[in-house]
Structure formats: structure tokens, C-alpha cells
């Protein structure tokens, strides 16, 4: 049995990161993020913990500049250029679209990426062991887990026969997630409807489409837009009483039903350590791409009760965290 943690929900003060933070005399780290500041605040904190563990403390010997695309990938190239013009010592790219924008913008400024896709396939590095350029970072398995998430929510609702999959068709490597879910749905004899969204209006349309199809459960694919709109999606799932599984435990903490995926905090902590190595003079080419393998399975018992669902003991025993 895996260790479980039972916690009580409580009010949390939410901080918003400033656009520019510069107080000390040290080098400046540029953070280029596809999601919103609010959506990744805990991950940026983990990044800073990794830096601090390696001797770099914000405001003392390192400072930060932030650029947030808020899920709009078209803004990233200009933001990457701006960070380069500002003379940052390293760019930390959060999400695949941010990493590719940074890589296209510079071959000189070091880049540390955090993403759930294959960095070789994206053209960011030549190989995981020998990056061969100005970029390295942390990758984790996330885009081929839609089938696993579909299986988990099916285990929670054995009577369910129709499911939905929400995807952003512009997201890198999204076909793998869709194909994985379709394969599992076929094997289980379930019907799967795929809904697409690239903005807020399309997100509303996607939910209306899935409601018309009378889905019994919903799987959210990993994407910067959906991460940025986490609270909105959680609210819509609650409004329509749709049992939904996400890729981030933070969605469960915000009221979502279930999540399964790699620990984003762990991945960003590792990226912080690599960023510190580069600030100390290490070259990205000498730092093999790390693969974060820490997975998290979380369940919100409060949400399950609200939806009239009973969590099977088998899922309780598997969960790393049960919020009640």
C-alpha cells in the first residue's frame, strides 16, 4: 500500500508574482511561462527552492524577470526576445511552447526547460545525454497518460460508458494523448468524444458539446491553456456535475475530483538546481536532460461525495493524497 496523506482544506492566501523582480546585485534569471502566473506559482516556488538549495537566494545574489503568456502561445516569441534584450543570464522555459520560442530566439543564452514532451522530438536538444547546444532541463511523462487517466476514472465509475477528452489541438504532441485515450476506450468498450479548445470561447463550446453527448466522465489533457484556466475548468465540471480527472494534483486541491501525473513541483525543483549550475558556470551541453519520475495520484473525497460517488477501497489504497 502506498503512503497516503489525508488533509483538510483551508483558506490559502494566493500571491501574484510581479512582472519584474530585481532587488539584489546578482545575475537575472528570466522566467518564460506559457501558463499564467497564478497557475504556476507553486512551481516557481519549487524552482526557487532548487536555486536556494544550490546557494542562490532571490534578492541577495540572484533576481528574476517574468513573462507570462497566459495560455496564448502567440505572445511567447516577443516575450523571449524581450528577455534576451534585457540581458538575462539564463531563461527558464515553462511548458513546451515556451521552450521552443526561447530556442528559436537564441543560440547563445542558456535555456533550462521544464516540459512533459520529448525535447529531442521538439528540436530542443540533440539527445538526452548530450544536449548539444544552449538548452537542457527536465522532462517528464505526461502526454501519453490519457489512457491511464481514463482507466482510473472508469474504475471510480464502473457503470460509465461514455467519456470525454478535452484537448488543445495546437499543443505539441497532443496526438499521443488522444491516441492513447482512444486505444484504451476501445479496449474497454467505451465511447470517447474528443472536444477541442484553444481559447476561452472554445472552452465553453467544448463543454456544451460534451454535455450534449451526455458524457459520464471527463479527462483533461495537459496544456498551458488548461493549466491557466484550471479554476474555470474545475468550476465548469462542478456546474455540470461531470466527474473529471486532471494531470495536476493542484486541480484536485482546487476542488477537482481526481488527478494522475508527474509531480510538477519535483520537476521544477530539479530545474532550479540546473539553473544554479549554469549560473555557476556550467554549460547546458554538459548537463544531461533529467527525467522526473515522481508520480502523484490524488483524490478529492469532498468532491466525490458532492457528485454522489463512492471511492472504491482499491483507489483509496493507490492514492498518494486524499483530500477530505
Map out the domains of the chain with their CATH numbers: 10-140+264-293 (3.40.50.2300), 146-262+297-323 (3.40.50.2300)
Q: Is the pLDDT of residue 21 over 50?
A: no
Give the cell for residue 238. 462542478
Angle between helices 174-188 and 146-156 (to 10 degrees): 40
Q: Is the pLDDT of residue 16 over 80?
A: no
The candidate with the shortest Cα–Cα distance to 67, out of 54, 79, 57, is: 79
* Confidence grade of residue 248 (pLDDT, cut at 50, 70, 90): confident
Neighbours of 219 (CB within 10 A): 32
- More confident site: 13 or 42: 42
Q: Is the pLDDT of residue 3 over 60?
A: no
Q: What is the DSSP letter of 285?
A: G
Contacts 24+ apart (CB under 8 A), 84-88: 84/109, 86/28, 86/30, 87/28, 88/27, 88/28, 88/29, 88/30
The percentage of residues in the chain with a pLDDT greater than 70, rounded to a whole number, is 90
Q: Which of 18-27, 169-178, 268-277 has the lowest mean pLDDT?
A: 18-27
Say if residues 311 and 156 touch (Cβ distance below 8 Å): yes
pLDDT digits (tens, 9 = 90+) for 50-104: 999 999 999 999 999 999 999 888 999 999 999 999 999 999 999 999 999 999 9
Q: Which of 15-19, 147-151, 157-161, 244-248 has the lowest mean pLDDT?
A: 15-19
Q: Which of 13-22, 49-58, 144-153, 301-310 has the lowest mean pLDDT?
A: 13-22
Q: How far is CA 306 from CA 216, 234, 257, in A?
A: 15, 13, 10
- Cα(137)–Cα(116) distance, integer angstroms: 11
The candidate with the shortest Cα–Cα distance to 296, out of 322, 324, 272, 270, is: 322
- Cα(167)–Cα(177) distance, integer angstroms: 9
Q: Please report the pLDDT score of residue 295 as a whole number.
A: 85
Q: Is the pLDDT of residue 11 over 70?
A: no
Say if residues 244 and 257 touch (Cβ distance below 8 Å): yes
- What helix, strand, coil percent values describe the chain, rounded to 5? 40, 20, 40
Q: Is the pLDDT of residue 220 over 90?
A: yes
* Confidence grade of residue 12 (pLDDT, cut at 50, 70, 90): very low
Q: Is the pLDDT of residue 5 over 70?
A: no
Amino acid at each position: 500500500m502506498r503512503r497516503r496523506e489525508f488533509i483538510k482544506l483551508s483558506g490559502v492566501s494566493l500571491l501574484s508574482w510581479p512582472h519584474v523582480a530585481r532587488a539584489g546585485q546578482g545575475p537575472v534569471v528570466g522566467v518564460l511561462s506559457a501558463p499564467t502566473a497564478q497557475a504556476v506559482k507553486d512551481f516557481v516556488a519549487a524552482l526557487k527552492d532548487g536555486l536556494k538549495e544550490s546557494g542562490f537566494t532571490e534578492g541577495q545574489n540572484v533576481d528574476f524577470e517574468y513573462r507570462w503568456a497566459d495560455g496564448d502561445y502567440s505572445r511567447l516569441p516577443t516575450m523571449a526576445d524581450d528577455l534576451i534584450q534585457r540581458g538575462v543570464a539564463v531563461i527558464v522555459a515553462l511548458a513546451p511552447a515556451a521552450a521552443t520560442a526561447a530556442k528559436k530566439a537564441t543560440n547563445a543564452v542558456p535555456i533550462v526547460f521544464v516540459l512533459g514532451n520529448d525535447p529531442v522530438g521538439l528540436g530542443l536538444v540533440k539527445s538526452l545525454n548530450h544536449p548539444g547546444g544552449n538548452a537542457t532541463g527536465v522532462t517528464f511523462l505526461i502526454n501519453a497518460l490519457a489512457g491511464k487517466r481514463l482507466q482510473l476514472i472508469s474504475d471510480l465509475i464502473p457503470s460509465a460508458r461514455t467519456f470525454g477528452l478535452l484537448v488543445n489541438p495546437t499543443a505539441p504532441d497532443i496526438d499521443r494523448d488522444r491516441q492513447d485515450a482512444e486505444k484504451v476506450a476501445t479496449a474497454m468498450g467505451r465511447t470517447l468524444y474528443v472536444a477541442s479548445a484553444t481559447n476561452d470561447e472554445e472552452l465553453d463550446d467544448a463543454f456544451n458539446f460534451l454535455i450534449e453527448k451526455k458524457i459520464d466522465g471527463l479527462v483533461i489533457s495537459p496544456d498551458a491553456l488548461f493549466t491557466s484556466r484550471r479554476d474555470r475548468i474545475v468550476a465548469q465540471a462542478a456546474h455540470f456535475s461531470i466527474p473529471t480527472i486532471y494531470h495536476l494534483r493542484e486541480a484536485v486541491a482546487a476542488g477537482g475530483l481526481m488527478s494522475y501525473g508527474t509531480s510538477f513541483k519535483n520537476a521544477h525543483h530539479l530545474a532550479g538546481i540546473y539553473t544554479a549550475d549554469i549560473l555557476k558556470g556550467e554549460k547546458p551541453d554538459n548537463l544531461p536532460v533529467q527525467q522526473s519520475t515522481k508520480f502523484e495520484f490524488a483524490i478529492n473525497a469532498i468532491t466525490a461525495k458532492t457528485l454522489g460517488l463512492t471511492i472504491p477501497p482499491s483507489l483509496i489504497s493507490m492514492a498518494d493524497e486524499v483530500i477530505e
